[in-house]
A = this chain, B = another copy of it.
């Protein structure tokens, strides 16, 4: 019994099994015979991830405890551990946590007796986002074998670039990176290509959100799009079957030209839909593994 913290902890078989569950939950949701409580503890702003978890939980028939981090005992200086332990004590069966610290899970590694699902850990990890990216690629190509994926954009500040790259490689994909000067992460052992090379070679272009405000080197919005982003001209150069992904929220006109957001190659909103199904699969998996549901 483990917490669901990192994509690295999962075997390739387990990943594939979760993707298959997610696909099947698109049609039918499992149901549980007893009342199960899920606590959502979001210490950072989030629409997409939090709401996606909530839809997943409601589709599974779970009861939801929605913690408002901005209006709570945190104001009284309570630790993350004590907050989670409180939810365990009042009856939470599983906790979904997002926190701005990269390593918040360390504080929870002993003493908590309910499963924890990582919904975002600082810049470090965001495994449910990774899983929904994988599901979207899997639905498209039926396999990861030799699928060419280029991860493009603010690599250094992304909490999905690293785990996506490693997971995709493990599953058989060919992974490339593309970043403006200053946006690279040199700790990652994948080849860098320019955006113009990227659009020509890829089966899937995985754009990341640009976080200009976190950088010393500032690019002007238009310059960024022209030099490093996905313009319509570049989109024209993509192979027929190639698709576009983006974790959203999107900076329209920065990493991608406005009109491409809903173009026929775009799987951006499909990724969001898929987010619900992978989260159902992960919740279901964790509840089963911990013996909470049968």
Contact = CB atoms under 8 A, between A and B. Distances in A.
Interface of A: 35, 37, 45-48, 51-52, 54-55, 58-59, 63, 65-79, 82-83, 85-91, 111, 248-252, 262, 269-270, 272-273, 275-276
A37 B58 contact: yes
Given A72-B46, A73-B45, A73-B46, A85 B269 contact: yes
A72 B98 CA distance: 13
Contacts of A71: 45, 68-70
A91 B276 contact: yes
A21 to B, nearest CB: 17
Given A89-B272, A90-B276, A73 B249 contact: yes
A48 B35 contact: no
Contacts of A75: 45
Nearest to A211: B76
B249 A47 contact: no
Given A91-B55, A272-B89, A82 B250 contact: yes
A258 to B, nearest CB: 10
A71 B74 CA distance: 15
Contacts of A58: 35, 37, 63
20 contacts: A35-B58, A46-B72, A46-B73, A47-B72, A48-B73, A48-B86, A51-B86, A51-B87, A52-B90, A54-B65, A58-B63, A59-B91, A73-B249, A77-B249, A77-B251, A78-B248, A82-B248, A86-B269, A88-B269, A89-B269
Given A72-B46, A269-B89, A55 B65 contact: yes
Given A46-B72, A47-B73, A69-B71, 5 more contacts: A47-B72, A51-B65, A77-B249, A78-B248, A88-B269
A71 B75 CA distance: 16
Contacts of A88: 269
A249 B46 contact: no
* Closest 9 pairs between A and B when the two form their complex, measured CB to CB: A89-B272, A47-B73, A78-B249, A89-B269, A47-B72, A73-B249, A45-B75, A55-B91, A58-B63
B67 A47 contact: yes
A275 B87 CA distance: 12
Centre residue among A77, A262, A272 by max chain B CB count within 10 A: A272
